[in-house]
Structure 1
């Protein structure tokens, strides 16, 4: 059987009631040029009834309070800054049907049995190049009653926690809750705005050839063992993210075979909402980008030859420096812009999808059984730390981080963890 998806309709979901017509400023973090790209994710739900229509109607109502998601990014001719023009244009929404059940395609577990491009909205080249629509969604209904959401979200609009907050709001409306759990807060002017922050600069240096993609699962037992070893060694706890990052970093460094004194780096975005509790309500609601990049550096020799517990320690030590580093950045006390990322082969970017809230979204028929994030730029060496499909336990590591000549060794090193 050939599995296929047919798109039935494409249009824009607009707010159900009149919303303000205004131009909203973005925060210093939102305006970072490197965030103007589409984040792709797939959300798999086991059951639903007229899911596309239900989500469409709920989204329209949710957009009354989350009306910026119905806006468009513009370049303000007066100051040259990127801003959001709110005129109620709407969220791009596609309704589609599949000719099979989710069981037939293993609930989109890897390897995918349906081309990934079929699960997302089909975009014109103009949209891809401009990336001015904050959010785009395709809901595909399967013959079993289950459905899949293919989501495009522009990182300029919100970080992962912010996008998940918007989806939670749609879910609460769909379930008939009398009011939203969180009141959305725009408040982009609340965040620090260092005067010497460089929003654009010279093109990043890219020396990566084509990077190979692979997905590897870490068992819950292997992660627990490393957590236990770390606790026995340090008396401190580490997270699934810490354990997973350490193993990926070490495996990649060994596979590539850098000179022992070669600097190697990993970078990830750390949530800073807790560091802004006096200006961003601690109960939640702020959905803009609210993170700070943490760069962890060492030498290839140390990362390759150390006990894995010691690699976790290097990651944890860098995370502990977050409050001080962010405080200095907030007042402009920096020489090099920490948000200007590098894409050299000795650097790995890591994205954490384990605690964003996507796995808790419910449109009325239960939480998703699978959430699949995808890599970003093709030239970006990266690893995405996610969760396994229900009911499996552990971590799923999606990587796009080594060239073909290093691929087999990388997979072998990663496989040693289980």
Structure 2
């Protein structure tokens, strides 16, 4: 069987009503040059067996638009509320470090596609490499615009069984994961017939602190790596076992995130087999800081810009290799506990010599992104929520692991990684699978 995807329509979707024009300034975090990249993801929706939710007529199932048409219409409405997504990102006089959004209303790039086979035929996109190249399910390049200047591109691929995949490309400079998911949920609200999004968008980038110590220098990439893709599921039983061990040894509770990050960091460090046990290895993850802003989370409700702080853990490789998983959990929780004080010092401009957004990309470092609670899994366009969301937020210089749930009805945590090269892959895989024993 051939697994070709045929793109049937390409166009810009403009806001469905008039929107403000002019320039909007980005925050100092938005302008971190390392964030000037595209985040790609696939959102997989199973075939629905009921009428589109929110539509009133009895023949809603037969008369309602296809997923692609429904999303296209809803996207135009959502772009009225989130009109910066319909604009273009432009550099300022000093380059990307002073970039801004020009609210031109030119629109988001939207592609409709069809697959003459079922999602089951494609293995439900559960095992990598997929029978369909991921690039076939993501929107192709929009004409006459640089990819990094376009805030949003979307492709809806409909399968013969009624299932569909939304391929999303979003520029990180405009929104973090929570912000992008907030926008996608607004599209879903309109697609289900709501008169307005359940969460009203807030642009005010001036709620983000602007300490003078923050650098806008481009990231330094020491080398390009040949990372291999690996996705491993961690069972609920295995996670619960480490939680119990941590509780018994410390009297404290830990989260599924703590356990999952600890396991992947330790497994990867062991697989590296560093010759010098004193070599330092580092772990970096990105913590939402909306609740730490002046006024707290309530004041930042609806804010969709970048609002996170980098939390870093550093230790001798021997300490990470030799500890039990609960011991590595303790290292991670200690770093998380320091977050409020460190963020406050950074916001006050006290961390002059240590820019938390100026990251070091080496093979001894690991970056972790948690997609579990961003909100993508709650997006409903009228056919129910996605059975899985597949991240492709990778860079050949950045060893990264992305945490999310496995496809329904599986339970536990799925760790999708591109963080080791071929020589370390088998041992990394064995260490991750040993967690289940």
Contact 1:165–1:287 (CA under 8 A) maintained in structure 2 = yes
Deviation at 1:209, TM superposition (A): 3.3
- Paired residue for 1:181? 198
- Paired residue for 2:323? 306
- Paired residue for 2:52? none
2:105 is the counterpart of 1:92? no
Report 1:256-271 matches (<5 A): 256-258=272-274, 259-271=276-288
- Paired residue for 1:11? 11
Distance 2:134 2:86 in 1: 25
Q: CA RMSD in A?
A: 1.7
Q: Return closer, same or farther for 1:51/1:125 CA change in 2, 3 Å cut-off.
A: closer
2:91 is the counterpart of 1:62? no
- SS of corresponding position for 2:270: helix
Aligned partner of 1:224 among 240, 251, 255: 240
2:170 is the counterpart of 1:153? yes
- Paired residue for 2:227? 211
* Residue-by-residue CA offset, 1:85-136 (whole Å, 9 max, x unaligned): 0010111000000011112112211121211110001126975x65011111
Uncovered stretches (5+) of structure 2, i.e. residues with no partner: 49-64
Distance 1:59 1:387 in 2: 26
- Paired residue for 1:27? 27
Distance 1:283 1:209 in 2: 38
- SS of corresponding position for 1:253: helix
- SS of corresponding position for 1:64: helix
Contact 1:190–1:280 (CA under 8 A) maintained in structure 2 = no
- Paired residue for 1:276? 293
Deviation at 1:282, TM superposition (A): 4.7
Deviation at 1:39, TM superposition (A): 0.5
2:183 is the counterpart of 1:166? yes
Report 1:16-415 matches (<5 A): 16-47=16-47, 50-77=66-93, 81-111=98-128, 112-123=130-141, 127=145, 130-201=147-218, 203-207=219-223, 209-258=225-274, 259-276=276-293, 278=295, 281-282=298-299, 284-334=301-351, 335-415=353-433
* Residue-by-residue CA offset, 1:263-317 (whole Å, 9 max, x unaligned): 1101011000110151663572000000000011111011000111010000010
* Residue-by-residue CA offset, 1:237-281 (whole Å, 9 max, x unaligned): 212211111011111111111221111101011000110151663
Deviation at 1:156, TM superposition (A): 0.4
The aligned length equals 416
Contact 1:30–1:157 (CA under 8 A) maintained in structure 2 = yes
TM-score calculated relative to the size of structure 2? 0.92
Deviation at 1:196, TM superposition (A): 2.1
Report the more deviating stretch, 178-187 or 321-330: 178-187
Distance 1:268 1:283 in 2: 21
Distance 1:249 1:183 in 2: 38
- SS of corresponding position for 2:39: strand
* Residue-by-residue CA offset, 1:37-94 (whole Å, 9 max, x unaligned): 1101100111365000001001101111110110110123389710000010111000
Distance 2:35 2:300 in 1: 26
Distance 2:108 2:215 in 1: 30
TM-score calculated relative to the size of structure 1? 0.96
Distance 2:364 2:87 in 1: 38
Contact 2:10–2:109 (CA under 8 A) maintained in structure 1 = yes
Deviation at 1:205, TM superposition (A): 3.9
Deviation at 1:378, TM superposition (A): 1.5
Deviation at 1:198, TM superposition (A): 0.9
Deviation at 1:386, TM superposition (A): 1.4
Deviation at 1:33, TM superposition (A): 0.3
Contact 1:208–1:345 (CA under 8 A) maintained in structure 2 = no
Distance 1:295 1:78 in 2: 29
- SS of corresponding position for 1:81: strand
